[in-house]
Structure 1
Amino acid sequence: MSVIRRNNVVVKGNGKRAIVFSHGFGCDQAMWRLVSPSFEDDFTTVLFDHVGAGKSDLNAYDADKYSSLAGYADDLAEIGEELGLQNAVFVGHSVSAMIGVLASVKAPSLFGDLVLVGPSARYIDDDGYHGGFAQDDIDELLASLGDNHMGWSSAMAPVIMGNADRPELGEELVDSFCRTDPDIARRFAKVTFTSDNRSDLPHVKARTLILQCRDDIIASEEVGEYVRDHIPGSRMVLLDATGHCPNLSAPGEVVAAIREFV
């Protein structure tokens, strides 16, 4: 099967340089609809759905391949190869930030710039490392998701969105979470929240920008600072935004920060 069909790749825009947008857990490429159109005049925009999300081919989901983030990074590199991308800009939200890191290390010529939105190299606390979650927290999260996908989504999505004064944003994230196949969501959540990509960060060669929000329960400022401090030459910008999804809650801030960087 063509990777274009498998990952529901959508290409728009007129620019010579490509900018690739990659979504996070429980989401699909629609999460970039308020950001990506702003770049279509100057870039060729590339959006896609991870296998198991959105309009990707669910039949292509392989539990072994996608038992680590490396499987998703391989898909990203394959998309880049199919489209002939070189020196592109990568914009990855949440877990896709580390997927982009892995793809950039695997295929160094693919991306010249990385924009990592709310990244975390490891979610679970470790000796001398603050990830934001204890192992018991993650075990409980995964058990709850496995037992009651719809209930977990309804409870957690508004908290993750983090804009209580704009409930429609939380409702959109709930809808997105609930559209995901429950079994695939459970497996992807385990891969996401048990990943540890700290050792990959020093190998990144691309120019890197970390975009961080205030009051992000998934990836705190301290977590973003760790990513910044371990990717050579990278820098971090604290957006005028709260929560974990500024691509929905503060798209103008995201667009401005990317434009200033690239």
Structure 2
Amino acid sequence: MDIDRRNNVTVTGNPQGPTVVLAHGFGCDQNMWRLTVPALAQDHRVVLFDYVGSGRSDLSAFSEDRYASLAGYAADVVEVCEALDLRDAVYVGHSVSAMIGVLAADAAPGRIGALVMVAPSPRYIDDVGYRGGFSVQDIDELLDSLESNYLGWSAAMAPVIMGNEDRPELGEELKNSFCATDPEAARVFARTTFLSDSRDDLKSVRVPTLILECTQDAIAPREVGAFVHHAIPGSTLISLDATGHCPHLSAPEATNAAITGFLAGLR
């Protein structure tokens, strides 16, 4: 299988530098990292890709069975790392991709040497002693709305997810990204994302880890960042002066400074 074509793999930056892999979240694609790449490219080899069903990936490779669990998306990550023969790469995952990175690092020891988790959430649904931000009813309604009218759901939810009401162009960009995603693939990815529970998987993390949270995030409240930080011994938690769930777009300077500072500490 041509992994480069399947996942629309892009490699840029300094070919002699350490490798950083940038992984997008639900409903997005690698273009969402365009404000981060310039901050990394001078000193790092930067790898970007699209999950199957997103961006310019090969939609013919989509399988509901494979992508009905986060392990299927983690397999994409591992196969991209294997195709490029990556060693000790730094994996930067946004939103659900943070948990996908945890699974990939566990599945392929040595391929991923550090994790950066941008607005992560191991479980979106509240549980006893745990606040994920949503009730079971909230998620059921979200998924029902998405499945019955994906374009309408995208228009309504994108501004909520992005936040920053004073900058409507950001919500519009996210809406357009959602609408460009194949609806069937989006349905599967949404169910996989919002019904996932990766809390126990955090115990497997054995690599240096940076957790970035926003001060106001409708998808991943600050209690989630604290939970992830507590669950991963030795991890670093930074609360960005940013609102919304996509700080790499809404607050790129703060996000990039946190990432590059972490990368400098790994050398």
Gaps of 5+ in 2: none
Structure 1 CA distance, aligned partners of 2:173 and 2:130? 33
Give the SS at the match of 2:124. coil
Q: TM-score, normalised by structure 1?
A: 0.99
Please give the per-residue CA displacement for 1:103-141, whole angstroms capped at 9, x wherever unaligned: 011112112211000000111111111111111100000
User: What does 1:180-219 align with in structure 2 at a 5 Å threshold?
Assistant: 180-219=181-220
Q: Would you say the 8 A contact 1:108–1:205 is kept in 2?
A: no
Which consecutive aligned stretches of 4+ in structure 1 deviate over 6 angstroms post-superposition?
none
Q: Which residue of 1 aligns with 2:96?
A: 95
Count of residue pairs brought into register by the alignment: 262
Q: Which residue of 2 aligns with 1:50?
A: 51
User: What does 1:97-116 align with in structure 2 at a 5 Å threshold?
Assistant: 97-116=98-117
Q: Which residue of 1 aligns with 2:4?
A: 4
Structure 2 CA distance, aligned partners of 1:89 and 1:42? 13
Q: Which residue of 1 aligns with 2:71?
A: 70
Please give the per-residue CA displacement for 1:14-70, whole angstroms capped at 9, x wherever unaligned: 133100000000000000000012111111000000000000000000000111000
Please give the per-residue CA displacement for 1:124-165, whole angstroms capped at 9, x wherever unaligned: 111111111111100000000001111110011001000000
Please give the per-residue CA displacement for 1:179-207, whole angstroms capped at 9, x wherever unaligned: 11111111110000000101110111110
Please report the RMSD computed on the Cα atoms of aligned residues, expressed in angstroms. Answer: 0.8
User: What does 1:147-226 align with in structure 2 at a 5 Å threshold?
Assistant: 147-226=148-227
Gaps of 5+ in 1: none
Q: Which residue of 2 aligns with 1:236?
A: 237
Give the SS at the match of 2:46. strand
Give the SS at the match of 1:244. coil
Structure 2 CA distance, aligned partners of 1:36 and 1:90? 13
Structure 1 CA distance, aligned partners of 2:127 and 2:148? 27
Per the TM alignment, residue 215 of structure 1 is displaced from its structure 2 partner at its CA by 1.4
One-letter identity of the residue aligned with 2:7: N
Q: TM-score, normalised by structure 2?
A: 0.97
Structure 2 CA distance, aligned partners of 1:170 and 1:75? 28
Please give the per-residue CA displacement for 1:202-246, whole angstroms capped at 9, x wherever unaligned: 111110000000110100110011011101211110011100001
